[in-house]
Amino acid sequence: MKSSLLEALTKIVGQQWVRHRRAELATYAMDGLPTHESVPGLVVMPGTPREVREIVRLLHLIQVPFVARGAGTGLSGGALADPDAVLITLTRMNQILRIDPIQRRAVVQPGVVNARLSEAVLPLGLQYVPDPSSQAACTVGGNVAENAGGPHCLKYGVTTNHIVSLEVVLPDGSVTRLGSTQGEAWGPDLVGLFVGSEGMFGIATEITVRLERVPESVRTMLADFATVRAASESVSSIIAAGIVPAALEMMDRACVAAVEASIYAAGYPTDAAAVLLVELDGQADAVEAEAITVHDILVDRGARQVRSASTAGDRARLWQGRKKAFGAMGRIAPDLAVQDAVVPRSTLPAIMDQIEGIRRQYGLTISNVFHAGDGNLHPNISFDRRDPDVAARVRSACREIMAACVAVGGSITGEHGVGSDKIDYMPWIFDAETLGAMRAVRRVFDPTELANPGKVVPVHACREWCAVKSARTPTLRSGQA
Amino acid sequence: MSDAIYTRLRALLGTTGVDRDVNGVPRATPESGDALSLVCRLAHEEGWKIRVEGRGTWLPSDAPADLAVSTRALEQIVSVSPADLVATVQSGTPLEALRRRLADYGMWLAVDPPGRPERSIGSVVATATAGPLRHGYGPVRDHVLGCTVATGDGRLVNAGGRVVKNVAGYDLTKLQVGGFGGFGIIAEVHLRLRALPRADVTLLARGTRDALTSAARELVSGHLLPGALELLSPALAAEADWMLAARFVGTDAAVQADVRRLGSLGELKWEPLPAERTAAFWSVAARGSLGGPITLRLGVLGDGVDEAIDLLAHDLDEGLVSAGAGLGMIRWTGDAPLERLRALRRAAATREIPMTLERAPWPIRRALGHFGAYREGVGQIVGRLRDTFDPGQCLSVALEGVE
């Protein structure tokens, strides 16, 4: 990239916060997904909202595209920048600005690590609920961009349900505040529109989140089943009984085997076809009573064994395998293609059969770990991308799995976002008109499409929308007033 | 002109799809999203103004227009999937009809908006008018998974999807929820359902407003998990004093545990409402919001409820007020001149309280706008979004007022 740009950026943030050497830039060539790679032209690391504004204003002035990035743990190739673009890394902006325990709000900078926020509010009896698997590393800003989820989103909702207000730098460098601390907007729900826009509407520089009380009582149960179908039916029965567990997580045999073979071994039965984790929370008496109901359902649906834990230590042990499942899978082979799809819950057993068929057809190792309560699947393929034949089979298998999920009325992503990885699948679930609407909305925020270009919306598949104001303003024709 | 429009609409929709309102304005009642989009496209091409109507039970059908488009014939419950906790419903479906059908499946939509039971689901979504259950189940946006919308120029957009967790593409649904029809007319919605609660218990306490709001704060900071915790003004409750209504919804065990603990907390004397009167109580409270021509909401937090009600009492009156005593959303219904309403919005804005006009006669809506006191930059974004979704400015919707 031009040395004048390097100079101008250096002037804004200081020399130590700009990266331009090839070896330095290579660090930023990937996010959490090993199948996509792109080396950015420059990396700049602002430390304040003012620096973000100045950087964006400069880039807008000279029409250079940019990509905002948090910790780079994303799983859709969404935070990758092309060689003609500047990567704006926000991890230096990691201050928790305010915590209001009465109103249950926290105001944070985008680079605050998800788990750190929860740790900071825990002594006040509060928690920040969205808990993606990468929570020890991922940032709240990245969570906002991707509308991140996690196991506890079944009961409490995903990121969008926990963000009440945002200060954003728009792609022209102007600053605006969306939403309010109260959660009631000053106008249409622009916070809702911004969350999950994958860095294409601007950069959030200050985020006000809703905090929840830590529940009085929590009970975690672990059941294992001889078939995935039986485990899935338990899930449906629990929900039909009117119980909304805090989490309902399932792991298949391959996933359990990976966990138990790793240092994260949690004592899960390796001969089970499926292991189900159920977490109940709420008032002590209620949790106690609901646990009995859930236990009965699990046994009734064929659980071979049900373990139960209510102390923090015992619960952590039951969770350990699930929380570390991705890490354990990562040990099977050099690379892990983490997939993310959603199906209507009732189709879970059928879709699991199809995934097994695809696995056999392509001769791959697929481990399934998923949020069974909301039908959010993660069929993960362990492979070695250095073998081009294997890499090609992985791509084909991913595509077929996605097609199967879409065919039963599902979605191509439940929490990881579209990014680069799933952009080709977008026309599978959205027609040209709707894709056109998305692009038109993107242009409302970013008329010259500088922010994270080339992601989410496949431009070639959009019907053209013209957002130019019509010269003619209709007036009443029939005289009715 | 009106005759020509009437004739063109009949050519498009057939004789049963078009009539006239009491003032003779042609009114289209399309039966499908496609037909709805055709009407919008025609209006866009001809430069006709459209008045958006639901079933006519919430916003008055009085916006000036060349034609009205009503969703009342879009009343099909397209599908209910109990195992997936999802329903797809046309926007003109009356809430009460939906409630009954869902109950047949053992399902429940945890939304209890103000107004009549025959209010359309589309109007609830378009105006984002949540009721007391917002406390436990969230605002309207949390219940809408996706929607099909006809834009002002007749494009049909399918936002979101039918699964409970979905981050594919931008979340265009959020723009339509609470967009008051300014970004298009909703044809169909995908709703997130819950299992019909096994237990549904309401308890009432009466007293001074101060006593009730401070008790409510105490309850919320305890580990009680009510579905609703609503403060009702004497006029709304038809009582001599203020009333605090706590509704516990869920499994028998959870509800019993909450009710037991409620009795042991604080000084208030709680009186359980007999089960057979529960539905009627909440329905009367919801209908109370129709007790005047104007309804507005103020967004405050729990500990701001008292101050905001004082503000209402000062600028308007203390008449029909319903307030989420835990989370703070306040709804006021009554009558007031425009200047008082403007003054209230200004006074609220200086206290960082957003005021949304939910319902009012057209002259008030036009002058005041559903929204106002935008933060810097927001008005521009909203204006450009409107240009995108209604490039011909055909939709007669007053998102912002005129000074």
Among chain B residues, the shortest Cα distance to A149 is held by B165
pLDDT of A480: 41
Whether the Cβ atoms of residue B106 and residue A240 lie closer than 8 Å to each other: yes
Among chain B residues, the shortest Cα distance to A233 is held by B83
Identify the domain containing residue A112 by its residue range: 96-213
Which of A103, A167, A182 best tests the B interface by mutation, with the highest count of B CBs <10 A? A182
User: What is B257-319 written as a DSSP string?
Assistant: HHHHHHHHSSS---EEPPHHHHHHHHHHHHHGGGSSSEEEEEE--GGGHHHHHHHHHHHS-SS
**Interchain pair A188, B302: CB under 8 A:** no
More confident residue, A330 or B324: B324
Same domain assignment for residues A137 and A163: yes
Of A147, A201, A478, the CB nearest to B25: A478
Whether the Cβ atoms of residue A478 and residue B5 lie closer than 8 Å to each other: yes
Chain A residues closer than 8 Å to B142 by CB: 157, 161
Same domain assignment for residues A184 and A222: no
Convert the pLDDT of each residue in B388-398 to its tens digit.
Answer: 999 999 999 99
pLDDT of A109: 98
CA distance A432 to chain B (A): 9
Chain A residues closer than 8 Å to B385 by CB: 188, 441, 444
**Summary mean pLDDT of chain B:** 95
What topology does CATH give the domain B197-367? Vanillyl-alcohol Oxidase; Chain A, domain 3 (3.40.462)
Q: Is the pLDDT of residue B221 over 90?
A: no
**Interchain pair A480, B128: CB under 8 A:** no
Domain of A324, CATH number, reads 3.30.70.2190
Residue A204, domain member (yes or no): yes
Domain of A53, CATH number, reads 3.30.43.10
Chain B residues closer than 8 Å to A481 by CB: 64
ipTM of the complex: 0.97
Same domain assignment for residues A234 and A289: yes
**Interchain pair A289, B254: CB under 8 A:** yes
**Interchain pair A456, B170: CB under 8 A:** yes
CA distance B166 to chain A (A): 4
Residue A479, domain member (yes or no): no
Of B253, B254, B378, the CB nearest to A187: B378
Same domain assignment for residues A234 and A268: yes
Convert the pLDDT of each residue in A166-209 to its tens digit.
Answer: 999 999 999 999 999 988 889 999 999 999 999 999 999 999 99
pLDDT of A479: 42
CA distance A159 to chain B (A): 11
Residue A475, domain member (yes or no): no
CA distance B130 to chain A (A): 11
What topology does CATH give the domain B2-70? 3.30.43
User: What is A122-182 written as a DSSP string?
Assistant: GGGTEE-----TTTTT-BHHHHHHHT---TTHHHH--GGGGEEEEEEE-TTS-EEEEE-TT
CA distance B240 to chain A (A): 31
Q: Is the pLDDT of residue B403 over 90?
A: no
Chain B residues closer than 8 Å to A107 by CB: none
The residue among A83, A97, A96, A75 whose CA lies nearest residue A29 is A83
Of B196, B261, B375, the CB nearest to A177: B375
**Interchain pair A374, B163: CB under 8 A:** yes
Convert the pLDDT of each residue in B42-101 to its tens digit.
Answer: 999 999 999 999 999 999 999 999 999 999 999 999 999 999 999 999 999 999 999 999
Residue A135, domain member (yes or no): yes
Of B46, B81, B388, the CB nearest to A344: B81
Among chain A residues, the shortest Cα distance to B159 is held by A434
Chain B residues closer than 8 Å to A158 by CB: 165, 167
In angstroms, the CA B217 to CA B301 distance is 11
CA distance B234 to chain A (A): 25
Of B64, B161, B256, the CB nearest to A481: B64
**Interchain pair B250, A411: CB under 8 A:** no
Same domain assignment for residues A321 and A380: no
pLDDT of A183: 82
Q: Is A236 helix (H, G, I), strand (E, B) or coil?
A: helix
pLDDT of A256: 94
In angstroms, the CA B120 to CA B90 distance is 9
pLDDT of A468: 46
Q: Is the pLDDT of residue B332 over 50?
A: yes
Of A180, A201, A236, the CB nearest to B83: A236
**Interchain pair A283, B162: CB under 8 A:** no
Domain of A416, CATH number, reads 3.30.70.2740
> Number of A:B CB contacts under 8 A?
310
Same domain assignment for residues A102 and A179: yes
Whether the Cβ atoms of residue A17 and residue A111 lie closer than 8 Å to each other: no
pLDDT of B327: 83
Residue that terminates a domain, selected from A32, A66, A89: A89
**Interchain pair B382, A188: CB under 8 A:** yes
CB atoms within 10 A of CB A292: 10
Q: Is A446 helix (H, G, I), strand (E, B) or coil?
A: coil
Chain B residues closer than 8 Å to A418 by CB: 167-169
In angstroms, the CA B392 to CA B394 distance is 5
In angstroms, the CA B67 to CA B64 distance is 9
Regions of chain A with pLDDT less than 50:
468-474, 479-481
Convert the pLDDT of each residue in B160-191 to its tens digit.
Answer: 999 999 999 999 999 999 999 999 999 999 99
Same domain assignment for residues A208 and A282: no
**Interchain pair B174, A189: CB under 8 A:** yes
The residue among B289, B317, B267 whose CA lies nearest residue B58 is B289
For CA atoms A425, A430, A435, A441, give the dihedral sign: negative
CB atoms within 10 A of CB B353: 25
Chain A residues closer than 8 Å to B297 by CB: 184
Instruction: Say how many domains are in chain A.
Output: 4
Lowest average pLDDT, out of B73-82, B253-262, B328-337, goes to B253-262
Of A178, A441, A465, the CB nearest to B172: A441
Residue A74, domain member (yes or no): yes
**Interchain pair A470, B354: CB under 8 A:** no
**Interchain pair A193, B174: CB under 8 A:** yes
Same domain assignment for residues A319 and A386: no
Residue that terminates a domain, selected from A89, A110, A136: A89
In Å, how far are A52, A82, B188, B378 from B82, measured between CA atoms? 47, 46, 18, 40
CA distance B379 to chain A (A): 9
In Å, how far are A59, A249, A272, A378 from A322, measured between CA atoms? 43, 8, 15, 12
Question: Is the CATH number of domain B77-195 3.10.20.30?
Answer: no
Domains of chain B, by residue range, sit at 2-70, 77-195, 197-367
CA distance B353 to chain A (A): 8
Residue A445, domain member (yes or no): no
**Interchain pair B393, A473: CB under 8 A:** yes
CA dihedral B64, B341, B386, A63 (to 10 degrees): 150
Same domain assignment for residues A147 and A205: yes
Percent of chain A that is helix, strand, coil (3-state, to 5): 40, 20, 40
pLDDT of B225: 87
CB atoms within 10 A of CB B16: 10
Residue A439, domain member (yes or no): no
Same domain assignment for residues A226 and A319: yes
Which of B20, B105, B158, B163 best tests the A interface by mutation, with the highest count of A CBs <10 A? B163
Residue A468, domain member (yes or no): no
pLDDT of A2: 78
